[in-house]
Amino acid sequence: MLLDLDGVSVVRVERLAGGIRRVHLATADDRARACPACGVFATRVKGSAVTRPRDLPYGESGLEFRWHKRRWWCREAGCPRRSFTEQIPQLPAGARITMRLRGAAGRRIRDAASTVIQAARDLRLSWPTVMDAFRAVANEVTDAPLPEVKVLGIDETRRGRPRWEQDPATGKWMLTRDRWHTGFVDALGTGGLLGQVEGRTVADVLAWLTATPLTWRKSIEYVTIDMSATYRAAVRTGLPQATVVVDHFHVVQLANKMLSMVRRRTTAETRGRRGRASDPEWKARRRLLRNREDLTDEQFATMWNTLLGEGRIGQTLLTAWIAKENLRNLLALARTGADRHQVGHARWKFLTWCADSDIPEVRQLSVTVDRWWAEIAAFIDTGHSNAKSEGINRVIKLVARNAFGLRNADNQRLRTRCVTTRRARGHLRTAQL
C-alpha cells in the first residue's frame, strides 16, 4: 500500500549517506512462485537472490530498492525449466525497471511532447531504454483505427537534406531519403495528423491512400490542398468522389508574389538597376503587400499619392495592387451567403481588370486563377482551408528543433504522429472545453 506496487511489501527502510532511502522489499504474492514455463506452483526453495529494481521517483532524494526474493525448484517432471526466481506483473523476470516506470517514460514523449533525452534525464534512464518504451506506447496510436474524416488536408513539410547513394552495379546515383514529407490531416475535426509518408509525388500520396480502408476513404467529402497540381492529380485518382478545395491563403500569397515581381521588373527596366531604399516603390513595398483594410486612411493615401506621382512605375504597381485586391474581394465572399451571380460578378471584375492591364505578371495570375477556378469556387462555397495542416507542420518543425534534429525519419514521423494527436486522445486540456 505504501508504494502502490502490487506483489511486494515493504520490510524495512534505512537511510544512507547523502539522504538516500533504501527500501527492502519482500514478495507478497503467492503467484510469484508459479513456474513461467509450465505454470505449476513450486513448493521447494532452491536459494535466494537480491535484485535492485528501479521505480518511479519518490521525493527529492528518491528511493533505492532491494528486492529479497527466492529461487524455486520446479517440481513438474516434464518442464524444461528446472529453477526460476520470483516475478510479479510489475517486475517480470530479468527486468531492471518496473513496468509503470517504463510506461511513464514512454508517455512523457507520447503525451507530454517531451524529448527522449529530457525524459531520460528526469527519470534517470538511458536513451535506448526510454526510446524503446516510447515505441511500445506509440503502437497504441499507430495501431488505432483512423477516425472518420469529412475534410482531409494534404500538405508537405521539409525535413533536412536529401540523401543519395550510388548503385554499385550501374554507378548511378539514386535518391534514398527524400527531404519532403507529405502529411494527411483531419482538417475539420480533432483527429490531428493521420499519417505521413516520405516524398510528395502522386505515387507517394496514392500509396498512403490505398493502404487505408475503402469505407474510410468513401467518407471523405472534401480535400484541402495548396495550389499543387501533383496533389490535385493524386486526389482525383485516389478519391474520385471528393471535392478538391484550394487554400485561399496560397491564392493570396500568389498574388503578393506577382506584385513583388512586377515591382522588381519595372524598377530594373525603368531605372536600370535594382531597387534602393531611396526609391518610392521600395519604401511602399510593405504597404503594397498589406491588406487594404489593415491600412489606415492616412497610410493608404500616402502610398497611393506617392506611387501615382512616379509615372510608369507607380501606375504599373497600382494596377497590379488593384488586381490583388479584386482577387481578395472575390475570396472574401466565402461563407457570406453570396449567390452565384455575386460570385460571378466578382470573378468577372477580377478577370476583366487583369485582361485590360498590359502587365504580363497580372495576366499570368488571371490565367492561373482561371485554371484553378473549380477548386477556388469550392473554397468560396464551403470555406474549408488548409490551416490545420499548416499548424501541424509548425508542430513537426518544433519537435525536430527541440530534438536538435532527427536523423531517423521513421522516429520523427512516429513522434510527430503522437504529438499531433494528443487532443484526439484526450491529453490536452483544450480537448475538454
Sketch the domain layout of the chain as residue ranges.
Answer: 8-96, 151-247+386-432, 248-382
Q: Roughly how many angstroms between the first and final C-alpha of the chain, as a whole number?
A: 35
d(CA 348, CA 345): 5
Quick one: CA dihedral 191, 192, 195, 200, positive or negative? positive
d(CA 74, CA 80): 9
| Per-residue confidence (pLDDT) for residue 429, from 0 to 100 | 53
Q: In the structure grid, which three cell numbers stand for residue 150, read together?
A: 469529412
d(CA 338, CA 346): 11
- Farthest CA pair distance, the chain: 104
Using the 8-state DSSP alphabet, how is residue 215 labeled?
H
| Per-residue confidence (pLDDT) for residue 432, from 0 to 100 | 38
Residues 324 and 332: beta-carbon distance below 8 Å: no
Instruction: Name residue 44's amino acid.
Output: R
d(CA 273, CA 283): 16
Kindly report the length of the chain: 433
d(CA 194, CA 308): 51
d(CA 135, CA 418): 10
Instruction: Measure Cα distances from 130 to 64, 110, 114, 143, 144 in Å.
Output: 20, 11, 11, 20, 22
Query: What is the H or E stretch that residue 193 is in?
Result: strand 193-198
Q: Would you call 206 exposed, middle or buried from its count of C-beta atoms within 10 A (0-12, 13-18, 19+)?
A: middle
d(CA 390, CA 392): 5
d(CA 137, CA 131): 10
- Determine phi and psi for 143, rounding to 5 degrees: -85, -10
Instruction: Measure Cα distances from 286 to 171, 256, 294 in Å.
Output: 50, 11, 12
Q: What is the DSSP string of 320-375?
A: HHHHHHHHHHHHTTTTTT--HHHHHHHHHHHHHHHHHS--HHHHHHHHHHHHTHHH
What is the CATH topology of the domain spanning 151-247+386-432?
Nucleotidyltransferase; domain 5 (3.30.420)
pLDDT in tens for each of the 433 residues of the chain? 888 888 899 999 998 887 788 999 999 888 888 888 888 888 889 999 999 999 988 877 778 999 999 999 998 888 888 888 998 889 888 889 999 999 999 999 999 888 999 999 999 999 999 999 999 999 989 999 999 999 999 999 988 788 888 888 888 888 878 889 999 999 998 899 999 999 999 999 999 999 999 999 999 999 999 999 999 999 999 999 999 999 999 999 999 999 999 999 999 999 999 989 999 999 999 999 999 999 999 999 999 998 888 888 999 999 999 999 999 999 999 988 889 999 999 999 999 999 999 899 999 999 999 999 999 999 999 999 999 999 999 999 998 888 888 888 888 889 999 999 888 887 765 433 3
Interior/surface letters 379-390, b for 16+ CB within 10 angstroms, e for the rest:
bbbbebbbebbb
Q: Can you give the pTM of this predicted structure?
A: 0.83
d(CA 150, CA 156): 20
Instruction: Name residue 383's amino acid.
Output: G
Residues 65 and 96: beta-carbon distance below 8 Å: no
| Per-residue confidence (pLDDT) for residue 428, from 0 to 100 | 64
